[in-house]
Structure 1
Amino acid sequence: MATVELLFSALPEHVRTARLVAAAVARRAGVDEAVLDEVRLAVGEACTRAVSLHQSSGVSAPVKVSLIEDEKKFSIEVGDEAPHANASGPVPAARAGGEPPPAEEPTAEEEDEMGLAVISGLVDDVEVTAGETGGLIRMSWPTTPASVLP
């Protein structure tokens, strides 16, 4: 079992790098070429969600991405250290003065739910856990054994 671990500061510009690294490691692990776009999109959504949670909660810890290569599957874990009010996601942030966000803007909770819905639509094997000390999204894809070269 090989594992690659990536830590990055919670800034949106680092999400692209995480997507590229995840796709490269997934390809090397034997994930079907036709699925690599799904891997990139799912990792992008999960990392964007983690960055957003860190920024809205004032968490300075890095976002952690683990790329795990097993015999028959490739897994990606995206972890955040932001406190979650409940298992479905964070409590939406109030604006200055306690005003709720305007109706046309999605709340943080709605954005979080949309991101999780996108991930669930892209990945058949996904598990989301969240608690007071952070959350974890674990996604897995089947792999095909690398062909042995003569």
Structure 2
Amino acid sequence: MSVEETVRGMWKALSDRDWELVKAYLSDDCIYLDMPVGPTAAARGPDDIVKRLKIGLEPLTDYQNFPGLMLDNGIDVMYEHSEEWRWPTGESAALNFVSVHRVVGGKITLWKDYWDMGALANHAPPNWLDDFANADMSWMFDATGLV
């Protein structure tokens, strides 16, 4: 499987919110982080990465990923794409992303998302941040110096 097929497969699984399949694309020591938040709030390993992803995505009534430009050098992949989030209360947000992945041995070992947090915060329901404040944060990993 090419690095592009690996990344596209993981994003398809994420769009379907097929958590077990998402895990299958991640290496045991994969690091995931949202760059707007920084490396001190990263997640490491498939189980913790999925815990982190679920905080934002599981409460949504609809979540779609729209593919875009993908470039790779055989190991590193840059993927420009967009997402649409819809909450049960009717709000929605269209988000533009650039995701950077490192793929080694058919598994994603590093995943960094670059996006505009303000675009989400400006369209999310007022209680959106409460989901994070009340969530299980056992996934938090400080990746400072590793990414």
Does TM, normalized by the shorter one, top 0.5? no
TM-score range, shorter chain: 0.3 to 0.5
Larger Rg: 1
TM-score when normalising by structure 2: 0.39
Name the structure with the higher helix share.
Answer: 1
